[in-house]
A = this chain, B = another copy of it.
Amino acid sequence: MRAVDIIIKKRDKKELTSQEIEFFIQGFTNGDIPDYQASSFAMAIFLNGMTHLETTALTLAMAKSGQTLDLSGIVKIAVDKHSSGGVGDKTSISVMPIVAACGLPVGKMSGHGLGFSGGTLDKLESIPGFRADLSTDEFKMQLKEKGIVLTGQSLDLAPADGKLYALRDVTGTVPSMPLIASSIISKKIAAGAQAIVLDVKVGLGAFMQTLDEARELADLMVSIGNLAGRKITALLSDMNQPLGCAVGNALETVEAIELLRGRAPKDYYEHCMHVAAHVLVLGERAKDLSEGRAMAEKSIADGDALEKLRVLVQAQSGDAEYVDDTSKFARAKYVEVVPAPRSGFISQVHARLVGEAAVALGAGRAKKDDAIDYAVGFLIHKKVGDKVEAGEPLFEIHANDEAKLADARAAVLLAYAFSSEFVPPLPLFYE
C-alpha cells in the first residue's frame, strides 16, 4: 500500500477501505507518511467528502493512534458530555455534579481554552489549588471512589488527531464535516466513552454558524458514533449570544456554583436541566427525559449536587470553601456597570464579539502559552428579547486595567443591537 495511491483514490472520489484509512493514519502518526502527503489528503477529503463508513474508519483509526482509557470495571457505562464550544458555556461544571449526585459516575478529560471560546479547566482553576493534572491512576481511583472527576488529558489520546489538526489549521482544511466529526469522536472514544451526549452549538459564537451545518455535523457524529458501537445523542443549542450571564473564568464558575443552589439565569438553568436529563437517560439512570429532569432538579433542591461539586473540588486539592462562599473568588480591580445607550428590545448580543472582548481583557488565550486572568470578564444583564430603558444596566465589565476596560466597553456595546419592535427571545435548543 502506498500513501500516494490512497490520496489519488480520494482525489478521484472513490470510497476508501478501512484498511487504507488505517494505513494512512498509522503512517502519519509514526512519521512514515510526511505532512505534505497528509495535507494533500486532507484537501482531497475537504473537497470530495467522505462517506459515513469512511468517516467511522477515520475516527477509529485516530482513536487507536495512541493511548486509550478503559473504564470498564470502574463504571457500568462510561458516559461523556461534549460541547462543541461557545461563550459563557460553563455547563460541565454544573451538570457533572448533578448527574453524579443522581448516582451516575462521570469522569471527563477536558481541555484548556484557546481563542474566544473558553475552556472548562481554566474556569475550575479559578479555584485556588484545583489540580487538573491528575494521572490516569488518580483519574480511575477518584472516579471509583468519588463518582466524579474532571481533569486534563494525562494520556496521549488520539495523537493522530492532534497532529492532523495542527496541519489542517495551516493548510485550509479545518471546516470539513468528516474531519471535524472524526476529530471530536476519536478523542471521546480514546477516552473510553461508551455513551456520549453531544451539545452542538450553533450561531454567531459557535464553530457552526448555521442550523443546517450544525444539524449535518450532529447527524454525522451520531451516525459514526453508532457505527463505532457507541450510544450517542446530539443536541443543537443556541450560541448566538453567550449562555447565561457570566463570561470569564471566575465569574462563570460562580454562576455554575449558584446554579447548584437553584440561583441561576433561567436560560442557563434550562440548558443544564436538559443536558443533565439526556446524560441520565443515556447513562441508564433515568428511563426518560422527564424522569431525568426530575432527578436533576431534586439533586439541586436536596443540596446533593452542590455536595458533589465540593467533593470534586476537594478531591482535586481545590479550596472547597470557594464553593460555599463565592465572595472568596478573585475579584477584578475595576467593575463597571454599563447602561443601555437607548431604549428598546435587545435583538443581538453577538457571542463571538463578547468572547473576543473577554480574551482581550485577559480571560482567555490568543496564543497557547498566554497567562490567564481569572477575575476578568463580563456579566451580561440583558439578552436577546429583553426590553430595556435607556440608562438601565446593560452589562457589567470586570477588568484589571483601565485601558482594557475602555476597549471592552466599546467592544461589547458593538456586540449589542437594539430594535424598536418586539424581538422574541432566542430558543435554547433547536429541534
Measured CB to CB, the residues of A under 8 A from B are 3-4, 7-8, 11, 34-40, 42-44, 46-48, 167, 169-173
Minimal beta-carbon separation of A180 from chain B (angstroms): 15
**Stoichiometry (number of copies):** 2
* Residues A171 and B47 in contact, CB atoms below 8 Å apart: no
Report chain B residues within 8 Å CB of A11. 43, 46-47, 172-173
Report chain B residues within 8 Å CB of A44. 43, 47, 172
Report chain B residues within 8 Å CB of A4. 169-172
Partner of A167 from the list B36, B43, B47 (CB cut-off 8 Å) is B36
Report chain B residues within 8 Å CB of A40. 39-40, 42-43, 171-173
Q: Interface of chain A, helix or strand or loop or mixed?
A: helix
C-alpha spacing A222/B167, complex, angstroms = 37
C-alpha spacing A38/B35, complex, angstroms = 11
User: A7, A38, A39, A170 — which one has the most chain B CB atoms within 10 A of its CB?
Assistant: A39
Report chain B residues within 8 Å CB of A43. 7, 11, 39-40, 43-44, 47
Report chain B residues within 8 Å CB of A7. 43, 171-172
C-alpha spacing A256/B394, complex, angstroms = 88
Minimal beta-carbon separation of A268 from chain B (angstroms): 35
User: A3, A43, A169, A173 — which one has the most chain B CB atoms within 10 A of its CB?
Assistant: A43
C-alpha spacing A173/B8, complex, angstroms = 8
Question: Can you report 14 A-B residue pairs in the complex whose CB atoms are below 8 A from each other?
Answer: A4-B170, A4-B171, A4-B172, A7-B172, A8-B172, A11-B46, A11-B172, A34-B35, A35-B35, A35-B36, A36-B39, A36-B170, A39-B39, A43-B47
C-alpha spacing A8/B36, complex, angstroms = 16
C-alpha spacing A43/B7, complex, angstroms = 10
